[in-house]
Amino acid sequence: IPSLPDGYILRSLEENDFNNNLIPVLKTLTTVGDVTKEEFANLYSEWIANSHVYNPLVITNREGKVVASGMLIVESKLIHKCGKVGHIEDIAVDLSEQGKKLGLILIKNLVELARLKNCYKVILDCDAKNTGFYEKCGFSQEGIEMGFRF
């Protein structure tokens, strides 16, 4: 795993990251919408209460500001001898922090966390235009993501 720039830290998401650039970072990925501090607190409690499922990580910069975030969901299955699958979700990197390999470092750490949690594989879904990035992270194409929107 390449190392982070000096002063940058990778750590678990904390509740007060809500006011620490987390939302602007996520907005680089997709629609976030208006989320109140209380709604976030409820979601954060649910993640903490199910910490064997939800593993949210962030990278902070020299000023302690969140500049990248990502989630590892650990799913307990019956197949593969009661195997576990890691799902990487909601990867976002601040646009002003490009070129520092933060995305790659975040992914490699989420994969390492999945390994420590005994997952037999890690999967993620992405746009066709991002497959090259995930190949650099050691992934290869497994299948097709199908979706149904309400």
Ligand X SMILES: CC(=O)N[C@@H]1[C@@H](O)[C@H](O)[C@@H](COP(=O)(O)O)O[C@@H]1O
Q: Are 65 and 20 in contact (CB under 8 A)?
A: yes
Q: Is 39 helix (H, G, I), strand (E, B) or coil?
A: helix
Q: How far is the CB of 6 from ligand X (least distance, A)?
A: 27
Which residue, 79 or 96, has its beta carbon nearer to a copy of itself?
79
Q: How far is the CB of 6 from a copy of itself (least distance, A)?
A: 28
Report how far residue 66's alpha carbon sits from residue 59's, in angstroms, rounded to the nearest whole number.
Answer: 6
Binding mask 1-40 for ligand X (x = CB under 6 A): -----------------------------xx---------
Q: Which two tokens stand for residue 133?
A: 């990035």
40 binds, among ligand X, a copy of itself, none (CB under 5 to 8 A by kind): a copy of itself
| Angle at alpha carbon of residue 63, lines to 60 and 69, rounded to 5° | 20
- Backbone phi, then psi, for 72, in 5-degree steps? -115, 120
Report how far residue 122's alpha carbon sits from residue 116's, in angstroms, rounded to the nearest whole number.
Answer: 12
Q: How far is the CB of 56 from a copy of itself (least distance, A)?
A: 9
Residue type at 67 in one-letter notation: V
Interface with a copy of itself by CB under 8 A: which residues? 22, 26, 29-35, 39-40, 42-43, 46-47, 50, 53-54, 73, 75-82, 87, 89-90, 111, 114-115, 119-128, 131, 134-135, 137-150
Interface with ligand X by CB under 6 A: which residues? 30-31, 79, 88-91, 121, 124-126, 143
